[in-house]
Structure 1
Amino acid sequence: MKRLLSITFFALLIAGCSGDENTATVPVTPTPPEGETFPGPTYADNYTPLASWNQNSQWNLANVHDPTVVKQSNYFYMYQTDASYGNAHDGHGHFFARRSTDLVNWEYMGSTMAAAPAWVKDSMNAKRARMEPALPPIDNPNYGYWAPCVRKIGNVYRMYYSIVISNPIVGTSFDTSWSERAFIGLAECTDLAANVWVDKGMVICSEPDGVESYIRSGPDDWSGYFKFNAIDPSVIEVGAQQYLIYGSWHTGIAAVELDPTTGKPFQLQSIADYGTRIAGRGNLANNRWQGLEAPEIIYNPDTGYYYLFLAYDELGVAYNTRVARSQSIYGPYIGIDGGNVSEGAECWPMVTHPYKFNNHTGWVGIAHCAIFQDDATGKWYYSSQGRLPENVPGINVSNAVMMGQVREIQWTPDGWPVANPERYAAVPQTDLVAADFVGAWEQITMQYQYRVQQTSVTLQLRADGTYTLGGIPSGNWSYDAATKVLSVGSVQSKVWNAWNWEASPRKRTLTFSGYTAGGQPVWGKKVN
């Protein structure tokens, strides 16, 4: 499992039912340029009236969690963790799929797996039988289906998926026993449109290293039994070599080389074969329970770096995305501030954080991302779930509303990825000049605050090249049309023609995204 009791926490979180719509009512964005018509997406952020299983054809990006995205032909295909508002998906299979030609409108395709493969239970019970003392088999395991990753390898698509067995290793209480292990498995498909997957068995599993017992001394004992938690796989192909990157909370993030023919590790004979730690959080010598997970790794040939994206903190509200980079798969991964994340340094920059623009509830739980590039356009994208905050009036269990989000990524002049403050809407891009930026904006400078949404202040960019922030004169700004970089004070940001999702009716706007010197995101949205 992602962490002890996370399955129980998640089950409570998604036990919601329908409520009333809670939408913005104040128009704040400019109209499109004269003569241009762009309707943009209109589907509601509060999808609870459409959350039931018999309405899945209308879900679009509703009920998405931990997405992975891959492209075949003209379609982008998205796969996900088992999750839905009110558990509407229960009894209908696992690792659900949907597809889109434009990253805005998504067609629901159903499950990719009917039931847990028999090898999961057999492998777990075989390991239990070999323990000292031997433990009896678990006849009816409790399964959780988490965090698939799909990659094209040669002419086949490989899905690396997580199945977690959440029963305690012994007894009935998580206060006295760690839960059973997690497994990463592999399935293959040659035609994503057909959605027929052939299971290939186990890739790797959670394995103890002998340092700790599976017996917990109490609910405050967080010294994890397993070395690496076999969940949240990400796979990258580097020339003829392939690597699995995985891990969640238990002692950090691991990398292990795969046999390209089988897609599995060359051997699993000793604990060393289960991978090398490439990222952690905090004092790695003493801390076996680390608040990071969901590694996603990509290579950008334009910068020459591997980028390791990580999810920090609990998934309901505080979830936030970090990124570090290296010139080697095995690290060290270094943050924007020079911190060595492979040795436990806090990872900066922070790509996303719970936030709120005006006239909307805002979003929380924005992490566990997929990073992918459209081979037709060369554009990069970030996709994850976003959750509505807790206790939104009129929505029962509002934090269980999980909307899939796609955001375009651009790269700063010094080679760091920044995400668009607004979700992708296929807004036509135009050539911008400095005069386009003059006016009032909302700006959010995201400080890292646990379970706290960051809110906006008013930024006024003046025609004379000066600006005020919160009504206070604060310095100068400029725009370089050649590099498409907006400089506001010392922060250099990339810019977009964007879609104002918070407005009612929704309209076009401009956005920018950059970082402070320490790696805090600075997001801006023009409002007039």
Structure 2
Amino acid sequence: MKYLNIILLSLSSLFAIGCSGGDATEDVSKPTPTPPSGSDEQLASYVAPTYNDDYTSIASWDNRSKWNLANVHDPSVMKADDGYYYIYQTDASYGNAHIGHGHFFCRRSKNLVDWEFMGATMSKLPAWVKTKLNEIRSNMGLSASTVNFSDETQFGFWAPCVRRVSANLYRMYYVITVPGTINGDNTWSERAFIGLMETSTPANVSSWVDKGYVITNVSDKELNFNVKSNDWANCYFKYNAIDPSYIITPSGEHWLAYGSWHSGFAAVQLNASTGMPLKTLGNPWGTDISAYGKLINTRQMGNRWQASEAPEVVYHNGYYYMFMAYDELSVAYNTRVVRSTNIDGPYVGIDGTDVTNNGGDAYPIVTHPYKFSKGYGWVGISHCAVFDDGNGNWFFSSQGRFPANVGGNAYSNAIMMGQVRSIRWTDDGWPVVMPERYGAVPQPAITESELVGNWEHIDLSYNYAKQDVAITMNLAANHTITAGTWQGATWSYDATNKVLTANGVKLYLQREVDWEASPRKATIVYAGYNGKKTYWGKKVN
């Protein structure tokens, strides 16, 4: 499925038909550090980013050196030993500008604000895809695929996950989806594959070496294809081989979480030396498919058509945190997070819901379509990468899309801007993502007097495919709230920990860019949880 022929949609587009560059010279100058602190003088002289979020005028391939974070979809971000952050992505762009120029594009930055386009890490469809596909089809008693393997526009190149393994080893797990159906009867979509590439020098995009097949869709229904094509809840595949998330545990185990829609997400242990599954997989069907992984998340137990995808698993202070995307990607996309003390679960939400053993909606909400009073706001904010800078600062990166018909552009929802946001961790260990994007704002201490005045406050509740809209909230000098939903309540401030408590809710503060202001400027923002509720806000005057 294509979005009005404007963009090759990733991820959810598979389910519309059934379940299923060049080298860069390395800059060895001292990296620009992520500023954890700063002076009032630095803040006073701060200049916010000026690039335009509506990048349609530079969307063409010939303008790629100007893209910065334009045309980013399903990002994966890691910091390399050369001091750069590298971001990799699904093949997707406004106007399909990327077609014919390779796959899994790379950019790099030293400050998470200014990004240099590097080019493709894969030049063409790997030969192993055709070989492995027809090997599996033969074992299933099916004829060889009739797909035209020379027409790469029919294949999906999706959702890479890149990690630093050691000083001289970086791994990328990537996804290739194959067109067609598994039995030629239009019953279920053809399978997807997760493959592996490695490099020792991410600054050289052509240095990635393909290591081949890792895993594919698996079914517990033997070779029974006689499931009606509209029986989504009972589809043939149990796990879908897309959206890999690679993690190395503190004890040195290597794991891959993967999957979407279908039954949910699986976790499979890897051989640390090879990056391949630890156990021999066997045929991708049968009554025992345990080698393909263990179920670690499901939105609805027993339903194989559930709108969740893109697991991203990271470790922080004793917990494994699994972020995930909910709902369709163009507008409704929103992010949830759960956690576990074990890499393979059980994962539990902030409300105690065990999404591993019992299933259920995951809370808290981390991102959601939203709109402040100025600007168009953002939708489709999910499929995230979560990473740190090595100095205790954590970040969340995802795509963000414009709403439909912005500025009279009927295709504005296909404008995809890569976005980076700061993460703070609550007192009880949950990650809150800031509402405004990261702009390397200096971080001098926030004083109580700065909090007095007007804020825009967003109740980030779940509203399918709708933007949560800000309302005005006023914090008075006498510590009362004189406008907004919490009018009549009180507020207090813990300056040491940068926590504003309003109406009994702890809101975690950060200096960020007011991207909707003209001109853009530094401001103060907050994010916080109260049970299953999420709140965002920013100081406006």
- Give yes or no for TM over 0.5: yes
Compared CA separation, residues 102 and 34, structure 1 to 2 (3 A): closer
Confirm whether residue 295 of structure 1 aligns to residue 311 of structure 2.
yes
Could you say which residue in structure 2 is the equivalent of 1:360? Answer: 375
Letter in 2 for 1:157: Y
Aligned pair count reads: 496
Compared CA separation, residues 218 and 209, structure 1 to 2 (3 A): closer
Could you say which residue in structure 1 is the equivalent of 2:344? Answer: 330
Could you say which residue in structure 1 is the equivalent of 2:387? Answer: 372
More divergent stretch after superposition (264-273 vs 435-444): 264-273
| Structure 2 contact 351–363 (Cα < 8 Å) conserved | yes
Following TM superposition, by how much is the alpha carbon of 1:86 offset from its aligned partner in structure 2, in angstroms?
0.3
Structure 1 residues 177-205: Cα deviation after superposition (integer angstroms, max 9, x where no partner)? 21110000000000011121000011111
Tell me which of 236, 248, 252 is aligned to 2:247. Answer: 236
Letter in 2 for 1:362: G
| Structure 2 contact 486–503 (Cα < 8 Å) conserved | no
Confirm whether residue 121 of structure 1 aligns to residue 130 of structure 2.
yes
Question: 1:215, 1:395 → 2: CA distance?
Answer: 44
| Structure 1 contact 324–347 (Cα < 8 Å) conserved | yes
> Alignment identity in percent?
52
Question: 1:468, 1:34 → 2: CA distance?
Answer: 32
Question: 1:158, 1:314 → 2: CA distance?
Answer: 28
Tell me which of 322, 325, 346 is aligned to 1:311. Answer: 325
Question: 1:349, 1:387 → 2: CA distance?
Answer: 22
Confirm whether residue 413 of structure 1 aligns to residue 427 of structure 2.
yes
Could you say which residue in structure 2 is the equivalent of 1:340? Answer: 354
Letter in 2 for 1:431: A
SS in 2 for 1:248: coil
Letter in 2 for 1:53: W
Unpaired segments ≥5 residues, structure 1: 1-7, 17-31
Compared CA separation, residues 217 and 100, structure 1 to 2 (3 A): same
Following TM superposition, by how much is the alpha carbon of 1:331 offset from its aligned partner in structure 2, in angstroms?
0.8
Question: 1:15, 1:137 → 2: CA distance?
Answer: 23
Compared CA separation, residues 49 and 240, structure 1 to 2 (3 A): same
Tell me which of 23, 39, 49 is aligned to 2:47. Answer: 39
SS in 2 for 1:55: helix
Question: 1:83, 1:11 → 2: CA distance?
Answer: 14
Confirm whether residue 158 of structure 1 aligns to residue 174 of structure 2.
no
Question: 2:241, 2:377 → 1: CA distance?
Answer: 32
Letter in 2 for 1:95: F
Could you say which residue in structure 1 is the equivalent of 2:528? Answer: 514
**What is the CA RMSD across the aligned residues, in angstroms?**
1.8
Following TM superposition, by how much is the alpha carbon of 1:218 offset from its aligned partner in structure 2, in angstroms?
4.2
Structure 1 residues 223-251: Cα deviation after superposition (integer angstroms, max 9, x where no partner)? 22111100000011012210000001111
Compared CA separation, residues 508 and 275, structure 1 to 2 (3 A): same
Following TM superposition, by how much is the alpha carbon of 1:472 offset from its aligned partner in structure 2, in angstroms?
6.5
Question: 1:419, 1:362 → 2: CA distance?
Answer: 16
Confirm whether residue 470 of structure 1 aligns to residue 469 of structure 2.
no
Question: 1:471, 1:489 → 2: CA distance?
Answer: 10
SS in 2 for 1:495: strand
SS in 2 for 1:473: coil
Structure 1 residues 204-223: Cα deviation after superposition (integer angstroms, max 9, x where no partner)? 11122216844552446442
Compared CA separation, residues 218 and 163, structure 1 to 2 (3 A): closer
Unpaired segments ≥5 residues, structure 2: 10-39, 283-287
Could you say which residue in structure 2 is the equivalent of 1:3? Answer: none
Confirm whether residue 65 of structure 1 aligns to residue 73 of structure 2.
yes
| Structure 2 contact 108–116 (Cα < 8 Å) conserved | yes
SS in 2 for 1:475: coil
Which residues in structure 2 correspond to 1:485-504 (within 5 Å)?
Answer: 485-504=499-518
Letter in 2 for 1:296: E
Question: 2:8, 2:411 → 1: CA distance?
Answer: 7
Question: 2:91, 2:212 → 1: CA distance?
Answer: 19
SS in 2 for 1:228: coil
Letter in 2 for 1:402: M
Question: 2:271, 2:520 → 1: CA distance?
Answer: 49
Question: 1:43, 1:210 → 2: CA distance?
Answer: 51
Could you say which residue in structure 1 is the equivalent of 2:266? Answer: 254
| Structure 2 contact 439–513 (Cα < 8 Å) conserved | yes
SS in 1 for 2:103: coil
Tell me which of 276, 295, 318 is aligned to 1:277. Answer: 295
SS in 2 for 1:95: strand
Structure with greater contact order relative to length (CA < 8 Å, sep ≥ 6): 1
Could you say which residue in structure 2 is the equivalent of 1:192? Answer: 202
Tell me which of 14, 27, 32 is aligned to 2:7. Answer: 14
Following TM superposition, by how much is the alpha carbon of 1:14 offset from its aligned partner in structure 2, in angstroms?
1.8
Could you say which residue in structure 2 is the equivalent of 1:5? Answer: none
Question: 1:211, 1:391 → 2: CA distance?
Answer: 47
Could you say which residue in structure 2 is the equivalent of 1:206? Answer: 217
Confirm whether residue 180 of structure 1 aligns to residue 224 of structure 2.
no
SS in 2 for 1:226: coil
Compared CA separation, residues 11 and 212, structure 1 to 2 (3 A): farther
| Structure 1 contact 222–289 (Cα < 8 Å) conserved | yes
Letter in 1 for 2:269: E
Could you say which residue in structure 2 is the equivalent of 1:393? Answer: 407
Following TM superposition, by how much is the alpha carbon of 1:12 offset from its aligned partner in structure 2, in angstroms?
4.1
Confirm whether residue 111 of structure 1 aligns to residue 120 of structure 2.
yes
Tell me which of 177, 180, 187 is aligned to 1:167. Answer: 180
Following TM superposition, by how much is the alpha carbon of 1:453 offset from its aligned partner in structure 2, in angstroms?
0.5
Question: 1:471, 1:521 → 2: CA distance?
Answer: 14
Could you say which residue in structure 1 is the equivalent of 2:365? Answer: 350
Give the TM-score of the pair, scaled to structure 1. 0.91
Give the TM-score of the pair, scaled to structure 2. 0.89
Question: 1:212, 1:129 → 2: CA distance?
Answer: 12
